């Protein structure tokens, strides 16, 4: 059984806080001095701020770290009158930044979070300092991955049990044995909230092909990105293969691509030590070329 994450936080400084982001009560895990440069962590679909539990403290030494629960997720508000397409999440992030008085921040998104971060950086480049796209969603439409994600998530939030929640988490990991019990317990408690299943029926809309296609990131959007961008991919990502990573790398001028081989959809957790080193180096403007793909990216047609 994997070692739990709470032991890593013993003796460290972090907090849980709630903010009003445009009328949405928004839960945040926070680390670092508010006087430091702001860094937002954005999680994936039906995830929560603990996605970045192994990254908070190390980044808090150099940044004011704010890991959000998206609207409709975690312990943030879950209004049932929203469509939960990408524009809804972009607005939530901007409303949150306005609520805490941050005009510009570095943004690191995982999966859905990277999808949202990409759209936000393209539409509002003045709000983004540096951009990290970690195993991003929205770059492709993989029917097998979409079906698995939809089925496992819906099963996990319908009369939630430890076994069903563990299966949902194992889908994210290359090595299922690395899923710790305290992560299962945390997500089980989140999924057991009243009306969480009703909110999930809405947040899963992006796994519907028609909805996904109208929200997808295009090559033109990537080519227009005007912020320093780091792409983090893995060789075992169940959502998008490395061919999609190379396509993104080829589209985003000046981007850097790092490939991790010992993780699935959550490299920030399964390979936390390397992730933290590379991620921090990029955010601080250091040379991380020894970690990146060597050579010029190939900008070909979009992979399936």
Buried b or exposed e, range 107-126, using 16+ CB within 10 angstroms = bbbbbbbbbbbbbbbbeeee
pLDDT at 2 over 80: no
pLDDT band at 3 (very low <50, low <70, confident <90, very high): low
How confident is the model over 147-192, as pLDDT tens digits? 999 999 999 999 999 999 999 999 999 999 999 999 999 999 999 9
pLDDT of residue 70: 98
12 has a pLDDT exceeding 90: no
pLDDT digits (tens, 9 = 90+) for 42-59: 999 999 999 999 999 999
CB count, 10 Å around CB of 161?
A: 14
Does 114 score more than 80 pLDDT? yes
- Checking if the pLDDT of 296 tops 50, the result is no
**pLDDT at res. 285:** 97
pLDDT score, position 152 = 97
**What H or E segment, with its residue span, contains residue 170?**
helix 162-170
- 297 pLDDT more than 70: no
**Which CATH number is associated with domain 6-291?**
3.40.50.1820
Q: What is the mean pLDDT of residues 234-258?
A: 96
CA distances (Å), 21 to each of 30, 89, 90, 296, in order? 16, 11, 12, 41
User: How many whole angstroms separate alpha carbon 218 and alpha carbon 270?
Assistant: 29
Q: For residues 259, 261, 267 and 268, what is the CA-based torsion angle, rounded to 10 degrees?
A: -80
Q: Look at the chain and count its residues.
A: 304
Element (H, E) at 42: strand 38-42
**DSSP H/E element including 247:** helix 242-251
Residue 4 has pLDDT above 80, yes or no: no
């Amino acid at each position: 059984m994997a070692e739990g994450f709470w032991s890593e936080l013993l003796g460290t400084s972090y907090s849980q806080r709630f903010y009003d982001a445009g009328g949405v009560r928004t839960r945040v895990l926070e680390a670092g001095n508010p006087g430091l440069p702001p860094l937002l962590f954005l999680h994936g679909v039906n995830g929560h701020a603990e996605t970045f539990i192994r990254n908070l403290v190390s980044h808090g030494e150099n940044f004011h770290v704010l890991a959000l629960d998206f609207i409709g997720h975690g312990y943030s508000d879950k209004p049932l009158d929203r469509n939960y397409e990408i524009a809804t999440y972009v607005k939530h992030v901007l409303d949150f930044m306005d609520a805490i008085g941050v005009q510009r921040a570095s943004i690191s998104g995982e999966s859905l979070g990277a999808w949202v971060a990409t759209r936000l950086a393209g539409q509002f480049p003045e709000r983004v300092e540096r951009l990290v796209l970690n195993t991003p969603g929205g770059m492709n439409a993989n029917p097998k991955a979409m079906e698995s994600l939809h089925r496992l998530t819906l099963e996990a939030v319908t009369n939630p049990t430890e076994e069903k929640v563990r299966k949902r988490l194992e889908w994210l990991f290359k090595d299922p044995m690395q899923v710790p019990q305290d992560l299962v317990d945390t997500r089980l408690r989140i999924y057991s909230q009243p009306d969480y299943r009703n909110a999930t029926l809405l947040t899963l809309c992006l796994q519907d092909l028609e909805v996904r296609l109208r929200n997808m990131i295009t090559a033109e959007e990537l080519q227009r990105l005007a912020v320093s961008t780091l792409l983090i991919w893995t060789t075992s990502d169940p959502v998008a293969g490395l061919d999609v990573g190379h396509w993104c790398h080829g589209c985003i001028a000046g981007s850097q691509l790092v490939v991790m081989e010992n993780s699935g959809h959550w490299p920030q957790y399964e390979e936390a030590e390397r992730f933290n080193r590379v991620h921090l180096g990029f955010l601080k403007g250091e040379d991380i070329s020894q970690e990146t793909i060597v050579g010029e990216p190939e900008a070909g047609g979009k992979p399936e």
